[in-house]
Amino acid sequence: MFTREQLFAIYAAEARGGAEAERVLREQRLVDANGNPIPARQAAYERALRRYAEADPAGWSAFLETLPP
């Protein structure tokens, strides 16, 4: 349902916060136009993120190192 690139973009945007996070979350349909969470879509994202991190821990770790502290 989510590509690796989408997972990384969403996670990074959430880490940054602000308008960029809102834009990405809307674009990926994790929130609606009013900013309200879409629970089923958010649950799917969280499952996909967890699966990716478990399947490729080195890739996940490398990605996390690219994020600002």
DSSP code per residue over 7-40: HHHHHHHHHH-HHHHHHHHHHTTSB-TTS-B-HH
Q: What is the rounded CA–CA span in Å between residue 60 and residue 15?
A: 15
pLDDT confidence of residue 56: 98
Q: What is the rounded CA–CA span in Å between residue 6 and residue 2?
A: 6
Domain boundaries, the chain: 4-66
User: pTM value?
Assistant: 0.91
pLDDT tens-place string over residues 5-61: 999 999 999 999 999 999 999 999 999 999 999 999 999 999 999 999 999 999 999
pLDDT confidence of residue 1: 86
pLDDT confidence of residue 29: 97
